[in-house]
Amino acid sequence: MFFKKNIILKISREIKVAVLVILSIVLFYWGFTFLKGRNLFDNSNKLYAVYDNVAGLVVSAPVTINGLNIGKVNTIEMLPDGKMKVELIITNEQIQIAKSSIAQIMDSGLIGGREIAILNNFSDKNYTESGDTLKTSDKLGLTAELANQIGPVKDKVEILLENANKLIESLNATLDATTQQKLKSAIASLEVTMAEFSQTSKSINGILAENKSKLNTTLTNFEKTSSNLNSMSSSLEKAELGATVKKLEATITSVNGMMTNLEQGKGSMGKLLSDDAMYNNLTKTSKELELLLQDLRLNPTRYVNVSVFGKKNKPYIAPTTEPIIEQPKN
């Protein structure tokens, strides 16, 4: 009996040890999988998303909707075509996810880390079931956006540095020993010029100091002249120059009209200036009048005949066509 009891106790100890070992292995595996983000006893809803690049996404990364944590990333595996298949475990059973929703990879904070934000289509009542695959997109993180923005700036800086390098090389090639000597001479000449300019400036300051009173008088006179000009300008404004100018313009317009009429032969003066027949008649009349006066002066008895003794009148002789020019008496 004692031997049998020892055997039973020995077997029970071995069973206990075996049970403890098995439990330890199960607990170790469960703890290991739990630390990796898996839960063996979890019957949560599982969804899938396929990406070209997971861009730093890791297992156990949070899954959110509008900032609310509703699950986590369970597994990430590479498919034969090179794409990445991500398994999502949705632990919040109260959230209904529409089939038209989009699983977007994005930054979870400023210090790094990636998460999957589900852009849920709340107007779609066709909800997902466990095993469905969502549409995907990838939103660039802060680092990626900075890299994209810094890229063009980097290219421009490289071009600028290259141009600066070329400029320095050109300067080094230009500034040989002879050019450096000429540059030194030019700088020395510039220093002499600046010294002379300083001396000239001192001389000008001395002249201004000596003639300060005269300058003040000149400025005073200039102010008086300016005041007089202002007064003259005010007087001219009061003189109604506008009306005077308008009258002058009207007078000029009238004179221009008169000149136009004269040129066109309108009026007596116009006809006199433009009518050749009238001019010839006036010239002929003037000439005949001159001959008549000359004949009257030379032969007054032809026109005034006073005869006391009854002397006969002389016959009339017409004057010549050309006037007789009387010779001066010596």
DSSP string, 78-136: E-TTS-EEEEEEE--TT---BTT-EEEEEESSTT--EEEEEE--TT---B--TT-EEEE
pLDDT of 114 above 50: yes
pLDDT of 126 above 80: yes
Residue 292 has, within 13 A of its CA and on its CB side, a CA count of 7
Which among 117, 50, 113, 57 is positioned nearest to 85, based on CA atoms? 50
Give residue 51's pLDDT.
94
More confident residue, 306 or 76: 76
| Axis-axis angle for helices 276-298, 267-274 (nearest 10) | 80
pLDDT of 60 above 60: yes
Give residue 71's pLDDT.
92
pLDDT in tens, 226-269: 888 887 777 666 666 677 777 888 888 888 877 777 677 666 66
Residue 301 has, within 13 A of its CA and on its CB side, a CA count of 8
* Mean pLDDT, rounded, for 133-162: 75
pLDDT category, 328, cuts 50, 70, 90? very low
* Mean pLDDT, rounded, for 117-143: 85
CA dist 205 and 212 (Å) reads 10
pLDDT of 311 above 60: no
Give residue 142's pLDDT.
56
Give residue 100's pLDDT.
93
Average pLDDT, the chain: 77
User: 315: buried, middle or exposed (CB in 10 Å: 19+, 13-18, 0-12)?
Assistant: exposed
Residue 310 in tokens: 């009854």
* Mean pLDDT, rounded, for 111-122: 86
Give residue 98's pLDDT.
93
* Mean pLDDT, rounded, for 69-88: 93
Which among 86, 2, 72 is positioned nearest to 38, based on CA atoms? 72
133-137, 240-244, 250-254, 270-274: which has the minimum mean pLDDT? 270-274
CA dist 144 and 303 (Å) reads 134
Which among 80, 142, 78 is positioned nearest to 111, based on CA atoms? 142
Q: Where are the domains of the chain?
A: 36-139, 142-167, 275-321
pLDDT category, 330, cuts 50, 70, 90? very low
pLDDT of 302 above 90: no
pLDDT category, 308, cuts 50, 70, 90? very low
Q: What is the pTM of this model?
A: 0.37
pLDDT in tens, 179-228: 777 788 888 888 888 888 888 888 888 887 888 787 888 888 888 888 88
CA dist 252 and 244 (Å) reads 12
CA dist 174 and 167 (Å) reads 10
Reported in sequence order, the residue ranges of the chain that DSSP labels E, i.e. its strands, are 45-51, 62-65, 68-78, 84-90, 102-107, 114-119, 133-138
More confident residue, 212 or 84: 84
More confident residue, 124 or 29: 124
* Mean pLDDT, rounded, for 70-86: 93
pLDDT category, 99, cuts 50, 70, 90? very high
* Mean pLDDT, rounded, for 108-126: 84
pLDDT category, 26, cuts 50, 70, 90? confident
- Give me the percent of the chain exceeding a pLDDT of 70: 71
